[in-house]
Amino acid sequence: MKTIPFLRITYLPLLMCALFSVAAVNAAETGAPQNPGQLIDGVARNVLKELDAHRAEMRKDPQKIRKLVDDLLLPHFDTEYAARLVLGKNWRTASEPQRKRFIEAFYQSMLQNYGEALLDFTPDRLTIQPYRGGPEETTATVRTEVRRDNGSRVPVNYSMRKTEAGWKAYDVTIEGISYVKSFRTDFGSEIEQKGLDAVIKRLEAQQTSGKSSKGAGKATS
């Protein structure tokens, strides 16, 4: 299976924006409910505004970019649903403690690997296509394009679902490649060989050591 080329620097901001940027302007602030396209547009503007104001200090202290993601973006990303899809059949056999540990470890791993890539993301890279869905929809795909350094355009589609807490993102497809399916393949192979506990411990150890992942979910360029 073709996997997302995570190590290409031009793709790192795409993945982070896809995973953590579908939050957006609070409906209470705008005075009206927002559709998924408006949510993506609003949060992209808010995040980029914060980055422009604090980019230099965030480069010096990576914890600040992680705090930005935690505070502004994580509440609007469906981490549990994404983790369920990534684990696939292994979710059904996992215990509740294993599920909770995996959700947290997986998110922290993604944040650690790709969080700093947001620092290089600028407004001119992102184009959001008009959203065509209706108000009765419970799932949605928001289509965007992101400009590479060489000027070419990369299609990036966000998969979202309507929850009791509002619209949340759970998957992104970059050039036809779903990150959920890619991770499910990589983690599935590792779990089959070593077991779920071993995978969780590896992710937790990575977080403790502060080193980037060398295992599942990370393909070569």
Q: With respect to residue 87, please indicate whether it lies within any of the assigned structural domains.
A: yes
Burial of 25 (0-12, 13-18, 19+ CB in 10 A): middle
Burial of 22 (0-12, 13-18, 19+ CB in 10 A): buried
Q: With respect to residue 1, please indicate whether it lies within any of the assigned structural domains.
A: no
Q: With respect to residue 6, please indicate whether it lies within any of the assigned structural domains.
A: no
**Position 12: which residue type?**
L
Q: With respect to residue 41, please indicate whether it lies within any of the assigned structural domains.
A: yes
Q: Which residues contact 195 (CB under 8 A, 6 or more apart)?
A: none
CATH of the domain at 94: 3.10.450.710
Residues present in the chain in total: 221
In sequence order, the β-bridge partners of residue 38 are: none
In sequence order, the β-bridge partners of residue 147 are: 153
Q: What is the pLDDT of residues 203-214, one digit of tens each?
A: 999 877 665 544
Q: With respect to residue 51, please indicate whether it lies within any of the assigned structural domains.
A: yes
The dihedral over CA atoms of 217, 140, 44, 82, expressed in degrees to the nearest 10, equals: -30
Question: Could you list the residue range(s) of the whole structural domain that residue 122 is in?
Answer: 12-209
Q: With respect to residue 2, please indicate whether it lies within any of the assigned structural domains.
A: no
Write down the residue that tokens 């409910």 correspond to: 33
Calpha distance 156→173 (Å, rounded): 6
Return the pLDDT at 21: 42
What DSSP element (H or E) covers 161? strand 153-163
Q: What is the pTM of this model?
A: 0.74
Return the pLDDT at 197: 97
Question: Cβ(182)–Cβ(3) under 8 Å?
Answer: yes
Q: What is the pLDDT of residues 128-155, one digit of tens each?
A: 888 888 888 999 998 888 888 788 888 8
Q: With respect to residue 42, please indicate whether it lies within any of the assigned structural domains.
A: yes
Q: With respect to residue 196, please indicate whether it lies within any of the assigned structural domains.
A: yes
Q: Which of 43-47, 159-163, 177-181 has the lowest mean pLDDT?
A: 43-47
Closest CA to 179 of 35, 12, 36, 40: 12
Q: Which residues contact 119 (CB under 8 A, 6 or more apart)?
A: 51, 55, 58, 59, 65
> For 113-128, what is the mean pLDDT?
72
Q: What is the mean pLDDT of the chain?
A: 77
SS (H, E, C) 30-87: HCCCCCHHHHHHHHHHHHHHHHHHHHHHHHHCHHHHHHHHHHHHHHHECHHHHHHHHH
Task: Please tell me the total count of domains within the chain.
Answer: 1
Return the pLDDT at 221: 34
Q: What is the pLDDT of residues 45-90, one digit of tens each?
A: 777 788 888 888 988 887 888 887 777 667 678 889 999 999 999 9
Highest mean pLDDT of the ranges 78-82, 107-111, 190-194: 190-194
